[in-house]
Amino acid sequence: MPDALWVYLADQRVARLEHDAGHLTLRYQSGATTPLSVRLPVREEPYGDSECRPFFANLLPEGSWRDALARQLGVSPEDDFGLLSAIGSDCAGAVALRSESDWIAERARYVETSEVELAKWVKNPAARPQLKTTPGLRLSLAGAQDKLLIHIDQGRPFLCEAGAPSTVILKPDILDPFNQVELSALNELLSLRLAAKILHSVPRAFWFAAGFAIERFDRRRQNGNRFARLHQEDFAQVLGLPSRAKYSVTWRDCFEIATRHTSTPARARVELTDRLFFNLLIGNNDAHGKNFALLYAGPDQFLLAPAYDLVSTEIYPSLSRSLAMPIGRATSANELDSGTWKSFAGEIGVRPQFLRERGNELVEKVSVALEGLLEQLESAHPALRRDVYPARRRHELFARFRGVVEANCRLIAASFR
C-alpha cells in the first residue's frame, strides 16, 4: 500500500493525502486555488488528522457493507487510508484519490457490458467478479448500502476503467430478512418518482438491470462521451463530523448550512423545508445528515444538491419510527402539533405561518400525485413486471406505501390545527 495518495479535484491534482502510523495529513499543492471542503480552505500549512479525516472518511462505506468490502479487499475495516487506496478513484463529487501523480483524464475509458450481466450481479452479489480482477467494476463509496457505479449511454451499460467517471448509481434490493425489508429498490423508485412530481430538484431515476438506477447529479456531460465531475460535500463533511455521527446532525444545522453556504439561501431554505415535509409524508424516518449535500456548480455557485436517498422506511414495521432528525421536541411524526411547529419555526428562523402553508401545500400535492403512481411506473418501466414477480408483490408493496403516505398526509395536516 502507498504511504500517500494524490488528491484530484475535477481531474486536476490539488493535494496529497499522507499516511503515517495511522495518522492522515493533507497538504495542498502550490498553486491550488479550489478547496476540497468549506472546512479545508487552501493554505500552505498542512491539515492534521483530526481536521482532514472526517472529510475523507465520509467518502467511505459504512456498517456491514464496509466490513464485507474490506474483507474482499484484504484491508482492515478500520483502515480509512487502505480503503481509499483501493476504491477512491471515483468518489462522490469531484474528488478522486490515486497513487499516480501523472494521471490524466485521457486515460479513462468505458468498457461495454450488458444489462443481462449486470442483472446477475445485482440479484446475486456472490456472482460478481472480484474487484482486484475486474478493473472496471466500481462500488459506490459513501453509504451503508451495496451499490454499483456504471455509465449508461443510450440504454447500453459500461464499466468505468482507468478513472472514467461513473454517471449512474445502481442499487440492488437490500438483503435484510431479519427486519423484513423487501423490494427496497422498488420502494426507492416509487419515492423518487413521487418526489419528481413534488420537489424542485430530483435526479432522474429508473429501473435497470433488476435494480434501482439513479443518474449522478455530480456529473455533467462535456464533449461527446466525456463527463466532468462536479464537486459536492454532504452535511456531515460540511460540519466536520465523522460518518458515525451522521445522526447528530439537526435540522437547525441543515438550515444554517443552507443560509451560510448556498448562493441563494432563501431558495435553498424553501427547498429544504419541502424536503423535510416530503420525508415526513413518505415515512422516511432515516433522513440524516449525510442525505443532504452542497453541490458546487461553478465559481461561487453553491447550491443545495438535488434530493436523494428518499425511501419509505415506515412501510417496514421492524424499522424504527423515530425521526433521525427530530423536529423540535418531536422525535416521531405522531408527536407533532401546532406548538411543536411554532417552536421549531423559531429554531430554524422562519415564520410558523410559512411552515403551515408549505406543509399543507405539500400534503395536497402528494395526495394528488399518488394517483396512478404504480401504473405510471409499470408503463414507463416494463421490466418491472419481469423482475418483480409475481405482480402481487409489487401491488402489495405499493398498497403499503400508499397507506403510509395517506396516513401521514392526514397526520401532518392535523398537526397544524
Residue 238: how many other CB atoms lie within 10 Å: 25
Which residues are within 8 A (CB) of 66 and not within 5 positions of it... i.e. 6 or more apart? 60, 77, 83, 144
Backbone angles phi, psi at 283, to 5 degrees: 75, 35
Q: Which of 120, 68, 90 is nearest to 8 (CA)?
A: 90
Please tell me the distance from the alpha carbon of residue 376 to that of residue 383, in angstroms, as a whole number: 13
Please tell me the distance from the alpha carbon of residue 9 to that of residue 254, in angstroms, as a whole number: 25
Residue pair 70/79 in contact (Cβ under 8 Å)? The answer is yes
C-alpha cell at 152: 449508461
DSSP conformational letter for 133 = G
Q: Which of 18, 275, 162, 259 is nearest to 7 (CA)?
A: 18
Please tell me the distance from the alpha carbon of residue 348 to that of residue 346, in angstroms, as a whole number: 6
C-alpha cell at 202: 430530483
Residue 199: how many other CB atoms lie within 10 Å: 19
Enumerate the active-site residues: 286
Mapped onto helix, strand or coil, the DSSP state of residue 364 is helix
Residues found in the chain = 417
Mapped onto helix, strand or coil, the DSSP state of residue 47 is strand
Please tell me the distance from the alpha carbon of residue 25 to that of residue 43, in angstroms, as a whole number: 13
Bridge-based pairing state of the strands 293-298 and 156-161: unpaired
- From the number of C-beta atoms within 10 Å of its C-beta (0-12, 13-18, 19+), residue 74 rates as exposed
